[in-house]
Structure 1
Amino acid sequence: MMLVQKVRSTMRHLINATKNVTTSRDVDVFEQIAFDYSLTSITLGSQRQAANFAIQYLISPKPESGNTAPSITYDQIISAFDAGKSQAFKEAGLILISYSYEQSDIVTDPVTGSVSLSFTINIQVTEKTR
C-alpha cells in the first residue's frame, strides 16, 4: 500500500488549488472527490506492484462569490499537472507508465447560472526498484 500513499501525496502536490493554480478555497471550491485504484503485480526486471488510478476532481465557484464560472479553467489545471508530473513522480520514487485526462460533466445550476466542472486524471504507476 506504500505505492498508493506515494501517489496520493504526489497528486496532492501536483493538483493543489492554492499552490499550483490561481484559485483558492476563498473563491472557488476545488476538491478531489474520488480516488479509485486497482493494484496489480508486474515483472519489469523484478517483481513489483503497479496500479491504475482514476482521480476525480470538482471545481465550482463558491456560491457567496457571486461568480457564475470558476476562476480557473480545466486547461490551466491540466497544464499545471503536465508541467510538474515528470519531476514530481521521479522525486517520489515512482515511474509514471501512462496518463490520460477525461473532462466529464459541465453542470449549470438553472437558478444561479453557476457552472461546475468535474474531470478525471487517469494514471498507471509503478515504484522504482533501484
Structure 2
Amino acid sequence: MDLVRKVRQTVKILINASKNMKVSREVDVFNELAFNFSMESTDYSTQRQMGTFTIQYLISPKQDSTNTAPSITYDQIISAFDAGKAQAFKNAGLILVSYSYEQSDILVDPTTGSVSLTFGINIQVTERTRT
C-alpha cells in the first residue's frame, strides 16, 4: 500500500494541507471527508500498481467569524493543485495518468447563512519504475 501513502502525502502537499486543513475557532474548517481508492495491477513493460483515487473535502468559514463564506475559494485550491501537480507526483515517484475535479455542493446553513463548499479531486496514478 505504498502507492496509497504516496498519493495521500502528495495531494496534501498540493492543496497546502498543513496550512489549510485545520479545525479551530481561528481558521476556516478545511477537512478531508473521504479518501476512496481502488487498486489494480497493470503492465507497462514492467508489472506495477495503478490506483484510482477520489478524495473529497469540505471548506466552511470559521465558527466565530462574521464571514458567511470561507476565506479560501475552490478556484484557489484547484489552481494550486494544477500548478504543482506534475512536479509533485514526479517527486513522489508516481505517474499521474488522469485527473478531474468536481465542485460538488454548496451548502447554506439556514440559521446562520454561512456557506460551505464540498468538492472532490479524482486521480489515477501508477508507480514510476525509472527515475
Shift of 1:126: 0.4
- Report the equivalent of 2:35: 35
After TM superposition, give the deviation of residue 32 of structure 1 in Å: 1.1
Quick one: which amino acid aligns to residue 51 of structure 1? G
Match of 2:55 in 1: 55
Q: CA deviation digits over 1:32-58, x for unaligned, max 9?
A: 111000000111111110000000010
Letter in 2 for 1:127: E
User: What secondary structure is seen at the aligned counterpart in 1 of 2:64?
Assistant: helix
What CA distance in whole angstroms lies between the structure 1 residues aligned with 2:18 and 2:69? 18
Q: Percent identity?
A: 69
Count matched residues. 128
Partner of 1:109: 109
**3-state SS of the aligned residue for 1:67?**
coil
Confirm whether residue 78 of structure 1 aligns to residue 54 of structure 2: no
Separation (CA, whole Å) in 2 of partners of 1:115 and 1:54: 23
**Counterpart residue identity of residue 94, structure 1:** L
Q: Which runs of 5+ in 1 are unaligned?
A: none
Instruction: Pick closer, same or farther for the CA change 1:86–1:24 going to 2, 3 Å.
Output: same
Using the size of structure 1 for normalisation, the TM-score is 0.93
Query: Is 2:94 the counterpart of 1:94?
Result: yes
| Letter of the structure 2 residue corresponding to residue 84 of structure 1 | G
C-alpha separation in 1, matches of 2:62 and 2:99 = 30
Maintained 8 Å contact 1:30/1:58: yes
Unpaired segments ≥5 residues, structure 2: none
CA offset digits 1:11-69 (Å, max 9, x no partner): 111112454x7x96532111111100000011111111000000001000012112100
* 1:46 partnered with 2:46: yes
Distance in 2 of aligned mates of 1:76 and 1:114: 19
RMSD: 1.5
